[in-house]
Chains A and B, each alone.
Chain A
Amino acid sequence: MAYSEKVIDHYENPRNVGNFGTTADVKTRKDIGVGVVGAPECGDVMQLQIKVDESGKIEDAKFKCFGCGSAIASSSLATEWIKGKTLDEAMAIKNTDLVEELSLPPVKIHCSVLAEDSIKSAIKDYQKKNGLLKEEHEHAH
């Protein structure tokens, strides 16, 4: 399987790797949302932490991904995309956007799903901490 140049670039120089503190450290920090997601198809795990400023924009993002090159590239790209976005704008990012940008092959689509899930999960965690979670019907995945 051949990697696209963009995947190789993100894989070799992943952007925004790390965290703003351990999961326990940031648990009580209201400006930080944490998403931990996994892909049962492959067994890879990913953590995304977002730092939200007072105007409600994502000021910074950090990720850790223990997975294949495509999963690392998807999450690295996702952190670049969400920086500077409002929560609603970040929430609107679709895995298909990542697939297109990185030219991921069909067998690697679940890696992009993982990245999308991590964004949604981190935003929800932030909203929950701040009492912002909208009353909506959870639709099943």
Chain B
Amino acid sequence: MSSDPFDILGIEPAFPVDEAALRQAWLKATAKHHPDRAPDPEEAHRKLAQVNEANRTLSDPERAANALLTRLGGPTPDKHKALPDGILMEMLEVRDQLEEAKRSRDPEDIARLEAWADQQRGMWIERVDGLFRAHGESDDRRDEIRESLNAWRYIERLIEQLDPDYSPAQADFG
């Protein structure tokens, strides 16, 4: 069976994912594979886990965009490492600020970084949406989408690290 989350849930592959359609498809799929009603409960458990994982992927905009790019045959980050100019330096600076904010425990500093990361996430959603549209309409934009997703990952990582419960060691167990 395909590991494509759009196929697993049977929803239209698009970005951004239609939240209402996703919820409906997920409810339908969980009912269908309910272990209490299935002839083969073990198989149903496996299917249910797959359905839930697909739902988690598509509920997360960055992971959903990656899934769509994979489906379109686009490159993985190790195949196309490009990043927009200046992003790495900016990310290094922002992480310095994060470290400082965590040390000082100043809630205002953390809040400012959270607001910035949130605004950046919104910007990447918009940009990637535009690129997927352009890709669908005419030429191959897959490398450009990859480049944007590469940059976007650093923002999502920052959001993970802003979580007060985040610890670098736990990042390995996750």
Contact bitstring B150-174, A, C-beta under 8 A = 1, else 0: 1001111110110000001101110
Q: How large is the interface on A (under 10, 10 to 19, 20 to 34, 35 or more residues)?
A: 20 to 34
Given contacts A67-B168, A69-B171, contact A40 B88 (CB under 8 A): no
* Chain B residues with a Cβ closer than 8 Å to the other chain, count: 28
B40 to chain A, nearest CB (A): 31
Query: Taking the complex as formed, is B83 at the interface, i.e. its CB lies under 8 A from any CB of chain A?
Result: yes
The SS class assigned to the A binding surface is mixed
Q: Does A38 contact B (CB under 8 A)?
A: yes
Residue pair B153, A36 in contact (C-beta under 8 Å): no
Interface string of A37-64 (1 = CB under 8 A from B): 1101111110100000000000000001
**Residue among B83, B98, B160 making CB contact with A40, cutoff 8 Å:** B83
In the bound complex, CA of A118 to CA of B99 (Å): 20
**A72 in contact (CB, < 8 A):** yes
Give the residues in chain B near A38, CB-CB below 8 Å: 83, 87-88, 91, 154
Q: Are B88 and A41 closer than 8 Å at their CB atoms?
A: no
Distance of B113 from chain A, by nearest CB (Å)? 13
Q: Does B78 contact A (CB under 8 A)?
A: yes
